[in-house]
Amino acid sequence: MSNCIFCKIATGEIPAEKIYESDGAFVIRDINPQAPVHFLAIPTRHYPAVHDIPQSEMASVMGALMDAVREAAKAAGLDANGYRLIVNSGDIAGQTVPHLHIHILGGRDLAWPPG
């Protein structure tokens, strides 16, 4: 999508360090980290939110995203103690960038429930 910040990062129009990259997904550091480690795993293709992924693409999109999560979490040493994944999907969840992404949070104790 032409006016989407994560699409622009995906294509390289906006430079960002990609911690991990595959055909279907990539991982960057969140610009406003909420934990010592705060990454975003992002599908290369533009889907605004969870319900916008066609069923026929769901397995490949989520497979690519979860591979990206595991590789980035392991590279950051999060696999030893664990980490939290968050998807804000839609307005009520507080989604601010309408290009689906998974937050990866770790490196500190994480309270539950979230706000």
Show which residues are catalytic: 101
**Stretch 20-59: interaction string toward ligand 5GP, x if CB under 6 A:** --------xxxxx-------x-------------------
Strand partners, 55: none
- Burial (Cβ within 10 Å: 0-12, 13-18, ≥19) of residue 95: middle
Single out the residue of 30, 46, 49, 110 in contact with Zn ion (rule: CB under 5 A): 46
Single out the residue of 94, 113, 114, 115 in contact with ligand 5GP (rule: CB under 6 A): 94
Question: 28-50 in b/e burial notation, b at 16+ Cβ within 10 A?
Answer: bbeeeeebebbbbbbbbbbbbbb
Residue 95 is a binding residue for ligand 5GP (CB under 6 A):
yes
Binding site for Zn ion (CB under 5 A): 1, 4, 6-7, 46, 99
